[in-house]
Amino acid sequence: MTAHQFRTRVYYEDTDLAGIVYYANYLKFIERARTEWVASLGVDQMELKAREGVVFAVRRVEADFLRPARFGDELVVETTLQSLGGARIGLEQVVTRGGERVFVAVVTLVCLTEDGHAARIPVEVRGKLAGPLH
């Protein structure tokens, strides 16, 4: 499976008093990477919400903080589809700096209706997402 790559830089606002990335900001980095991954597959999330009445939401994140990233570091977030269920998407997201892993997350997304109930992933979207599995 090919990983989608999203590049970002650590800004001063991303760091804590010690000058390292504040732990919660890794969630922002991987969120941005997921948004770009879905867009790269041709899925317009705003259109999906308007047309189908469904959105994707994070259900679970399992995170490992391996090395500190610091102000000015260039990071790459690699997103790899691990599984695709009826209403669930399983991803692995790895943040690297110069090829070294600094953060790894296993993320479960769910497809929800606007009122928060589980919904099946629309067939058209499923086809676009499934492409990387084959």
Supply the residues annotated as catalytic.
16
CA 114, chain centre distance (Å): 20
The partner residues of 88 in beta bridges, in order of sequence, read 110
State how far the Cα of 119 lies from the Cα of 63, in Å rounded to an integer: 26
**CA dist., res. 43 & res. 101, Å (int):** 28
